[in-house]
Amino acid sequence: MAEKKKAGAFDIRVVIALLVGIYGVVLTVLGLTGSQAETDKAAGININLWGGIGMLVFAALFVLWARLRPIAVADESPDDQ
């Protein structure tokens, strides 16, 4: 009988959340340290800050999704075939 294991760190949602989270941190830092001239170019909206915060929220939702609904992977041994 195949035993089921969770995908854990190898779940693609965790990998995507990590990549988007890294970009989100970079954009948030750029938004916090950016100049007023950059904000003025974007019609007065600090787009780096808001984009970074959006990416961080997206990454957190992906991690939450992966934790609440883990993917079960069947662990098949060679003699089960």
Cβ(65)–Cβ(13) under 8 Å? yes
Residue 1 has pLDDT above 60, yes or no: no
- Identify the residue with better confidence: 47 or 3: 47
* Whole-structure pTM value: 0.78
Sorted by where each begins, the domain ranges of the chain are: 11-70
DSSP string, 24-71: HHHHHHHHHH--HHHHHHTTT--HHHHHHHHHHHHHHHHHHHHHHSPP
Structure tokens at 32: 């916090």
Residue 67 CA to residue 78 CA, distance in Å, equals 29
Model pLDDT, residue 8: 67
Give tens-digit pLDDT for 10-57: 789 999 999 999 999 999 999 999 999 989 999 999 999 999 999 999
Can you give the pLDDT at residue 70? 84
Distance of alpha carbon 31 from alpha carbon 52, whole angstroms? 8
